[in-house]
Amino acid sequence: MALANETLAAIRYGYGLRPGETAPRDAAGLLAQLEAGRTAKLRFPREGVAGRRETATRIISLRAAESKATKEGKPNEAIRRQTQREAQRIYRQDAMARLAQAVYSPLGFHERLATFWTDHFSTSAMKSLPMRMVVPLYEAEAVRPNMAGTFARLLKAAILHPAMLIYLDQDQSIGPDSVAAQKSGRGLNENLGRELLELHTLGAGSGYTQADVRAAALILTGLSVDNRALQVVYKPRFAEGGAITLLGQDYDGDEGEGQDHMLMLEDLAAHPKTAGHICRKLVSHFVDDTPPEELVTPMLEAWTRTSGNLTDVYRAMLEHPRAWSDPGRKIKQPFDFVASGLRAFGLPETSLTDLSRDMDQADVDDGAVDKAMKMASDMAGAVAGQVTGQGAGQMEGDAALTGAPAIGGETVANEAKRRGGRANSLTLGALQRMRQPIWQPPSPAGFADQASVWLSPSQLTERISWSRNMAKAYGQTIEPLPLLDAALADAAGPETRKIIGQAPNKLHGITMVLASPEFNRR
């Protein structure tokens, strides 16, 4: 099956078709997005990078002060609760903004690359409370600005960010012979050293040894985080002295300077195994789980020729005919599935901000809702029991969409809760259920990418269920076949078109557009 270039570009290299948006038709069009992406509006962190640094350091300082007070026997539960709640809300709003970014940015390839690299250099917002606020910042200031230059530059920006150092415990790692170790008895943590070789650069099974892992970890000692300022700092007292050998290369241990790790990162970026690892990973992400070597070869040549300039590497992939043929071998990851579904409906940006606000509202009104619920259940008869019956409401999760009838203690606050639940079930809650919560990869290896992982019975069930919720939420003014055209254009097979046209009801017709194999493949 050959697709129109615009269709393939939108589906394989972007977040899918969106009515009113023109997809690029060739490599040049896709690459132009990288330049445009530099200055394009980024929807998170919600307060901007500088604003986020202020918010985060304020909350972190508050918590540090509270911890100190607790140690002195003067705990302040209110501050603990309030800061926890605030960090959680900031994370949720940023996660919604990240979804909106994928849905509303016309620079789909740029956005997909941001997701690819954020996942390649995985960090998790679940690591600690501060990380809820730091991980979005990390994507915004370390990953996104550096994905069109050299790999070495991106590598250094990602590794040398507080998010990475916190996530992989570098701030806990101390050279065994360092000054600090001799006093504290603490020691080396190999976490970042190992993942640096295995995941970020050379790749698993590329020939390095356990001694190399340890050597990388030793070279990284001294790197730490000033938690209050959210800055990477070099602490000579943590650094391992003396010469360290990694992959046959000596790093002198120029104590106090803190330059060895920079040299190491440059050497690892330049290593041929790294080029092979990264190029294959790009191709298996965008094109096929088993990367066609015909596609990888010109990318490796570009990498060598330009010392790892990523734009040239992307170009080598995109200019190859194989990059534009044989679609449908990958299954969209859940985030991509949800983002492309929201795009297909052509919803205005206010739709997502409304959902985000509904979630904020449900959160703000928590206390009132609980009280109202209690009152309702105390007072109500059988009818009210049905009306206020809680349940996770994941499948239906419908709020009162119009009107707020007042039967059996149903209250405004209760409605806020319903609306919040509905908004959640269409967005973040759905991603949670599909096992791809935003900025929460299951391990430093990131989310699984193989097609087979995302086509299990439970995954399919969740996707059908979400599709139905979408049909209920946004399907009133849309017909199934026009939606199919908007979502898939010529990627919709004739049989799919026929079956959807015959659906026994519109709700199911719309559901089937999103649940179709064509919409889930890319």
Partner 1 sequence: MTDQESLLLSRRGFLAGACCAAAAPVLAPVSFAAMPGDNRFVTIILRGAMDGLDLVQPYGDPAFAALRPKLGRMPDTGLLDLDGFFGLNPAAAPLMPLWQARELSFVHAVSTPYRNQRSHFDGQDILETGGNDKSQKTGWLNRTLAVIPQSGRRTAIDINASMDLILTGPNRVASWSSQSNFALAEDELAFLERLYAQDAPFAEALAEARSTDISADSLYSDGKRGGGIADMARLAGGMLKGDYRIASFSINGWDTHVGQQAQFRKAVADLSTAIVTLKDSLGAEAWGKTVVLAMTEFGRTARENGTGGTDHGTGGLAVLAGGAATGGKVLGQWPGLAPDSLLDQRDLMPTGDVREVAAAMLYQQFGISPGNLTTKVFPGLSFDKSSIYLRA
Task: Please give the full DSSP string across 153-197, using - where no structure is assigned.
Answer: HHHHHHHTSHHHHHHTTGGG---TTSHHHHHH------HHHHHII
At 167, list the tokens.
């996530």
* Tokens describing residue 17: 């078709």
| Shortest spacing between CB 429 and partner 1, in angstroms | 12
Residue (37 or 397) nearer to partner 1, CB: 397
Burial of 62 (0-12, 13-18, 19+ CB in 10 A): middle
Query: In this structure, what token pair is assigned to residue 96?
Result: 């919604």
Phi and psi for 309 in degrees, rounded to 5? -75, 115
Shortest distance, position 493 Cβ to partner 1, whole Å: 7
State how far the Cα of 161 lies from the Cα of 131, in Å rounded to an integer: 12
3-state secondary structure of 12: helix
Task: Considering the complex, state which of residue 36 and residue 460 has its C-beta at the smaller distance from partner 1.
Answer: 460
Cβ distance to partner 1 smaller for residue 256 or 501: 501
Do 231 and 212 contact (CB within 8 A), yes or no?
A: no
- State which amino acid sits at residue 297: T
Options 387, 445, 453, 489; binder of partner 1; rule CB under 8 A: 387
Least gap, CB of 74 to partner 1 (angstroms): 39
The smaller minimum CB distance to partner 1, of residues 98 and 472, is found at 472
Residue 350 or 502: the one with the smaller Cβ distance to partner 1 is 502
- Considering the rule CB under 8 A, would residue 505 count as an interface residue with partner 1? yes
Task: Decide: is 389 part of the binding site for partner 1 (CB under 8 A).
Answer: yes
Number of shown-chain residues binding partner 1 (CB under 8 A): 72
Choose, by CB under 8 A, the member of 400, 445, 453, 489 that binds partner 1: 400
| 391 contact partners, CB below 8 Å, separation of at least 6 | none
- For residue 233, the one-letter residue type is V
Residue placing its CB nearer to partner 1 in the complex, 32 or 503? 503
Helix (H) or strand (E) holding 234: strand 231-234
Smaller CB separation from partner 1, 209 or 456:
456
Tell me how far, at minimum, the Cβ of 300 lies from partner 1, in Å.
Answer: 31
- Name which of residues 59 to 78 contact partner 1 (CB under 8 A): none
Q: In 3-state terms, what secondary structure has residue 15?
A: coil
Q: Which of 384, 445, 448, 453 binds partner 1 (CB under 8 A)?
A: 384
Contact call for residues 491 and 16 (beta carbons, < 8 A): no
Please, what is the minimum distance in Å from the beta carbon of residue 209 to partner 1? 39
Binding to partner 1, residues 234-273 (CB under 8 A): none
Binding status of residue 479 toward partner 1 by CB under 8 A: yes
Select from 91-99, 199-207, 293-301, 493-501 the region that touches partner 1 (CB under 8 A): 493-501
- Number of neighbouring beta carbons within 10 Å of residue 84: 14
How far is the C-alpha of 63 from the C-alpha of 438, rounded, in Å? 25
For residues 282, 283, 284, 288, the Cα torsion angle rounded to the nearest 10 degrees is 150
End-to-end CA distance of the chain: 12
Residue 47 binds partner 1, judged by CB under 8 A: no
Which of the ranges 133-141, 213-221, 265-273, 381-389 carries the binding residues for partner 1, by CB under 8 A?
A: 381-389
Cα 104 to Cα 101: distance, rounded to the nearest angstrom = 5
User: Which residue type does 277 have?
Assistant: H
Shortest approach of partner 1 to residue 425 CB, angstroms?
A: 10
Residue type, position 284, single letter: S
Residue for token pair 């970020």? 200
Q: Is 126 in the site for partner 1 (CB under 8 A)?
A: no
- Cis before 45? omega within 30: yes
Q: Which stretch binds partner 1 (CB under 8 A): 45-53, 170-178, 191-199, 498-506?
A: 498-506
Is 457 one of the binding residues for partner 1 (CB under 8 A)?
Answer: yes
Q: Which residue in the set 411, 424, 427, 436 belongs to the binding site for partner 1 (CB under 8 A)?
A: 411
- At position 492, the amino acid (one-letter code) is A
Whichever of 239 and 331 has its CB closer to partner 1, that residue is: 331
Q: Is 503 in the site for partner 1 (CB under 8 A)?
A: yes
* One residue of 51, 412, 443, 490 binding partner 1 per CB under 8 A: 412
The footprint of partner 1 on residues 316-375 (CB under 8 A) is 372, 375
Contact characters 433-452, partner 1, x per CB under 8 A: -------------------x
